[in-house]
Structure 1
């Protein structure tokens, strides 16, 4: 258990899950984000085999403490509020940041003909390898949220074999067992499923503008549930015949993370309405993996006060600084405890 303890109604998991991405919070972080965006340029990455991904690179004018690559969640983007918040906190701390868009997220729909799916790990690894090659640093970190956290941990487990060096990986509320998460979305509060159906359909419509030959325009209007969409798109646009097989293919429970050979840290919550905390026990035990589970926070929420400040941003900065300056951080904690 950690020291994240929000007051009053902020302990509600739905309030946390929704509030973190609201326009109100975006306005709250605007001054910090404006400094980040002033140093940002868009980048298209060549991932091999004709695949391209894109992202936003923000660099300091002076040598940075390191480079942090951040990955958003499903149907988010490099400009999602929670990602901008974390990136601006890291940038203010002296780190360069790269906000990577997954395929068909953000402004990337035109880059590749085939649709995104969550098993496309190789292209994400290729993108990370390209980022590190383009912007070499002595220290490289990887941070992901939700599905992005799932990708980050899978990438960390294969990093060394792919020629990628990582000093630390942090996953916030990572997707653990997609089968259970899909069931939670379908059977839980209707608002969550409706939200993802709406955003997924909007993304698919955008894709058709560039690749009408994909041919699902007649079926798309009839879809009203994630189950119906998976039943159509999995057999028609992935290598899997059944949605269950597809969902199981990108889970990280079981022995998936046994290949970790660099430090990784999971931040989760007991009250996440989408990802069951009980599945944390199903992660492969590893001396490289540490897990902290907060009592509150919802799904990628961690709003700590009425000013809409993010505890997760502070924790990510702390963990990365701890990896970068372990002795200095230890001394600082000791001095604080003594005072």
Structure 2
């Protein structure tokens, strides 16, 4: 709860927002006319940059989510240039692309990563994502070699592994306020999308009153070619052996007490030797808060692994 709360924002030290200083708003190419937004911040602490760190937010988050800013600021201090990417329909970008965001829009994110890598070449390109962004990070890392993206390393924090299990968990076993929080943000986002393209009918008003599963299914059937909710959920699953052929060095960090993503899905993963699975006893969902200053253990964790990759490249 604390991870995304206003309480945390007010208690965090000013250094957690350093990545905002001198940040350059950027439009990136998602391919086939798709435009995605982001923000680039160049490091100023080292004579030469350690590399480029790309950060993916979670579902209904943005480049300005607290966890993204805090991680970006920590890496900036260590000499990394930072690129924070918004997914389609996130971060006030609803008017850029007429079609709705959904979690299987992987190709545009891979294309955007390629555009970022070309425009800001670096000796090390590292990627970190949180929750749904962690799921995207794992899938981008799988696609990176064939797409010609020089990705050095990927790290996924509390990523969605089996979406069908995660959707059920958020509805049935997670505390009620988790679903209420996400549904409130999602409904607000859908209304913003409708306002941006009034000639389109993205949803019927009664559909907005449904629960997470019902609204997801309605939008999948209305706006995608998957044919069923289960086919859509399978479309972005990384469960079982889906990551067995991962070529990029990768770390997956999660917490056993995460109420949103069941730990069972992580324990069933079939992973190659270059993929590290780290399950912490505590941490919640993308929280890992250390103390009353509201800073996260996750920042040091990501920085240590990114810095090791940069050191090896040097």
Establish whether TM, by shorter chain, passes 0.5: yes
> Which range moved further: 262-271 or 225-234?
225-234
How many residues are matched?
311
Question: Where does residue 29 of structure 2 map in the other structure?
Answer: 46
Question: Where does residue 138 of structure 1 map in the other structure?
Answer: 123
Question: Where does residue 12 of structure 2 map in the other structure?
Answer: 29
**Secondary structure of 2:127's aligned partner:** strand
| TM-score w.r.t. length of structure 1 | 0.88
Alignment CA distance shift 1:152-1:127 (3 Å):
same
Contact 1:154 1:256 in 2 (8 A): no
Question: Where does residue 76 of structure 2 map in the other structure?
Answer: 91
Question: Where does residue 287 of structure 1 map in the other structure?
Answer: 273
Say whether residues 1:277 and 2:260 are aligned partners.
no
Q: Cα deviations across residues 159-185 of structure 1 (Å, max 9, x unaligned)?
A: 000001111100000100000110011
Paired with 2:302 and 2:56, the residues of 1 have a C-alpha distance of 13
Deviation (angstroms), 1:287: 1.6
Say whether residues 1:311 and 2:300 are aligned partners.
no
Q: Cα deviations across residues 292-315 of structure 1 (Å, max 9, x unaligned)?
A: 100001110100111212100010
Paired with 2:295 and 2:18, the residues of 1 have a C-alpha distance of 17
Deviation (angstroms), 1:221: 6.5
Segments of 5+ residues of structure 1 without an aligned counterpart are: 1-17, 329-339
| TM-score w.r.t. length of structure 2 | 0.95
Segments of 5+ residues of structure 2 without an aligned counterpart are: none
Q: Cα deviations across residues 212-265 of structure 1 (Å, max 9, x unaligned)?
A: 232145425652411220121010011212111111110101232133112000
Question: Following superposition of structure 1 onto structure 2, how do residues 50-89 of structure 1 map, counting pairs within 5 Å?
Answer: 50-61=33-44, 62-89=47-74
Deviation (angstroms), 1:283: 2.1
Question: Following superposition of structure 1 onto structure 2, how do residues 1-339 of structure 1 map, counting pairs within 5 Å?
Answer: 18-29=1-12, 31-61=14-44, 62-188=47-173, 189-216=175-202, 218-219=204-205, 222-325=208-311
Q: Which has the larger radius of gyration?
A: 1
> Bigger relative contact order, structure 1 or 2, given CA contacts below 8 A and separation 6+?
1
**Secondary structure of 1:159's aligned partner:** helix
RMSD: 1.7
Paired with 2:206 and 2:33, the residues of 1 have a C-alpha distance of 27
Deviation (angstroms), 1:33: 4.1
**Secondary structure of 1:212's aligned partner:** coil
Paired with 1:315 and 1:96, the residues of 2 have a C-alpha distance of 18
Paired with 2:206 and 2:39, the residues of 1 have a C-alpha distance of 31
